[in-house]
Amino acid sequence: MAEYWSTLDVDLHLAVDPASGRRVGLEHALREAIRDGRLGAGTRLPSTRTLAVELGLARGTVSAAYDQLVAEGHLVAVRGSGTHVAELAGQGVPSGLRAAPRSSDSLESLDALGAPSALGLPSTSGLPSAWVGEQARSRPKPLGNNLLPGSPDLSHFPRAAWLRASRRAVNQAPNDAFGYGDPRGRVELRRALAEYLGRARGVLADPERIVVVSGAVQGLALLGQVLGGVVAMEDPYIPLFHEVVRSHGAEVVPLPVDDDGARVDLLAGPDFDQVGTVVVTPSHQYPIGSTLHPARRQALVEWACEGRRLVVEDDYDGEFRYDRQPVGAVQGMAPERVVYLGTASKTLGPGIRLAWMVLPEPLVGPVTEVKRHADHQSESLGQLTLAEFIASHDYDRHVRAARLRYRRRRDLLAERLHTRAGRPAAGFALGGIAAGLHALVRLEPAGMTEVEVLKRASEFDLELEGLGGLWHTAPANALASSAARPQGIVVGFGSPTEAAYPRALDALVRTLSWR
């Protein structure tokens, strides 16, 4: 299955299978995107020339596919207006309002997930110390050059477009937007997200199954409360996330990762026989940077379906892919077995405090209830603004511009390290750079240690994050022992401003230059 990314004014995820021929494969991909609601009625498609370039196909192949779908009634072509999805396509269900299809073994209750059916759960009204642990961690003084991961370049926040969207949203908002509302979030945002996620990430989303949260941390906290039991989480990963899940009632066990992503094969072993939920980052593992291999994606879905288990897909930076076609969400393969967790933190900024979960149907009620107990609801005005920002396609335009900007930064990082410090004697290798806003500098045994690199970085007024602080602290085993753990530095090339980035790269090159 070949994954392709198509754009007009918006992103569109298509999966074209060339096995049956390119034209037939494109016809099938477009037909399925219309039927499952990812391409809604009235949506304008790219020109045949544009789509041919995007997919690497002959223009005649695209024209023939369009003609076939016009003949079938799925598309309407009007001279001078382009090609649109027919109003009656997909039985008239607007994009984003179609319910995700239920699989033959779809979850019928929380008991099928191994979760408590009753909500005798602790309140989340008080924030655990882990919630604010990393943010509250004091630093003597911020260093002058910042290459810490976890944030985009905040100077590129789309202030003007956001302000326009906010004004439109407030002017159009119903009176009840300023009162108490649905704990799941404003329906305007849930509808906009359902359309966008289906179109851009291949997520099968129904607005009724989306819960808006304040960030990935709150999403994991709510799931930890509802699911409980034993949760496998990637190792290495973000320690704060481990702490949040653990502090909200679940036992956490580490799942090793390698260059092909999470070691899904280990889930069938005795160390994981009690695991009912696994949290993974399939599109771009944090911090290793690997993408979950297609065979492992399939094995992960089979593990969840066969054992009536749950996968939590943390898709924190899935919009940013550079060297290969974007990978669709795992959720699209098994919407009744996968919780999709997305966020605006990397595309817009963490200060927006908006993220979202697309849930299997049996989890919607319990998660909504614990959300009500946690904070009743996320604030409304930001949700309405983001909904308008997405609906106007300003979000798509912002993401595309950011993708080009971060790709240039990634390329400059690779070039500088290769030409200035990346000689064989330098003792490191750059990896995880096909996507996202961070890269991993792997330190070779013959080179400097992680501690030495961090010490040298401080001498050059440079802030970096070491890989050592991201490992799980559970008892060591053969695969995750201290001796087997590689050393490395996580470089966040998205964080600095445009003006500060070259200076930060200079400091990084000097830090890694072999003595």
Does residue 136 surpass a pLDDT of 50?
A: no
Here the tokens at position 87 are 């109003």
Helices (H), 339-491: 361-375, 380-391, 394-416, 450-459
* pTM for this predicted structure: 0.76
pLDDT at 502 over 70: yes
Do 286 and 233 contact (CB within 8 A), yes or no? no
pLDDT (0 to 100) of residue 395: 94
At residue 475 the predicted structure's pLDDT band, cuts being 50, 70 and 90, is: very low
Residue 57 has pLDDT above 90, yes or no: no
- Residue 80, pLDDT > 80, answer no
If you average pLDDT over every residue of the chain, what do you get? 82
Residue 18: pLDDT above 80? Answer: no
Percent of the chain whose predicted confidence (pLDDT) is above 90: 51
Residues 6+ away with beta carbon under 8 Å from 220? 241, 244, 245, 248, 279, 312, 341
**Of 122 and 427, more confident:** 427
> What residues pair up with 5 in beta bridges, in sequence order?
13
pLDDT in tens, 34-53: 877 778 788 888 888 888 87
Q: Pick the residue with more confidence: 108 or 147?
A: 147
Q: Which residues of 446-461 are buried (b: 16+ CB within 10 A; e: fewer)?
A: ebbebeebbebbeebe
Which of the four pLDDT bands, split at 50, 70 and 90, describes residue 144? confident
More confident residue, 267 or 10: 267
Q: What is the pLDDT of residues 341-359, one digit of tens each?
A: 999 999 999 999 999 999 9
Is pLDDT of 130 > 60? no
Q: Considering only residues 230 and 57, tell me which one the structure prediction assigns the higher pLDDT.
A: 230
Token representation of residue 335: 């919407």
pLDDT of res. 41:
80
Q: Which of 277, 319, 276, 280 is nearest to 296 (CA)?
A: 280
Backbone phi, psi, residue 495, to 5°? -70, -45
